[in-house]
């Protein structure tokens, strides 16, 4: 258990103590009971996490992730690193295809696209287009 839930820890201790008192003939029932409680706890945590993400999406903010200390962090180093690695892995075959089919111009277009994808991801798409609902309405017209 990564988060060390004290209630779940108490349930496990109680289950183990009960097993010692009752013996091994009730072991399967005790395990089933504990697993049901564990399953309910996991369901509760997943529902809470999904609710947090839905609220963030509804607000138009970027979903957050938990860092190593348990704090929330928007699209951290791992996400940026993953996009950079994927871009480099895909850049090799894309560069070969572009240069074979369109020469130097194709190669340049290919790399402008690769750099563009990484730049948009790095800056954040919302930073480029503005937050949702940032346009103002005047006289029935959208600006």
How is 95-131 classified by DSSP, letter by letter? HHHHHHHHHHHHHHHHHHHHHHHHHHHHH-HHHHH-S
**80 CB neighbour count, 10 Å cutoff:** 13
Q: Kindly calculate the radius of gyration of the chain based on its CA atoms and give it in whole angstroms.
A: 26
CA distance 44 to 3: 14
| Claim: this prediction has a pTM higher than 0.85 | no
pLDDT tens-digit readout, 102-134: 989 998 999 999 888 888 877 765 555 555 544
Q: Spell out the domain ranges in the chain.
A: 1-59, 74-143
Mean pLDDT of 12-24: 87
pLDDT tens-digit readout, 49-108: 888 888 877 777 655 555 454 544 455 667 777 888 888 888 888 888 988 899 899 989
CB of 118 within 8 A of CB of 87? yes
């Amino acid at each position: 258990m990564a988060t060390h839930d004290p209630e779940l820890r108490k349930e496990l201790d109680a289950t183990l103590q009960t097993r010692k008192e009752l013996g091994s003939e009730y072991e399967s029932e005790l395990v089933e009971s504990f697993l049901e409680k564990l399953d309910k706890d996991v369901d509760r945590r997943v529902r809470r996490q999904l609710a947090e993400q839905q609220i963030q999406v509804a607000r138009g903010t970027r979903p957050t992730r938990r860092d190593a200390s348990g704090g929330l962090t928007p699209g951290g180093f791992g996400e940026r690193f993953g996009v950079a690695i994927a871009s480099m892995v895909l850049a090799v075959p894309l560069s070969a295809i572009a240069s074979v089919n369109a020469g130097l111009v194709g190669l340049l277009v290919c790399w402008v696209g690769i750099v563009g994808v990484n730049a948009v991801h790095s800056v954040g798409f919302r930073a480029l287009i503005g937050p949702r609902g940032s346009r103002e309405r005047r006289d029935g017209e959208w600006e």
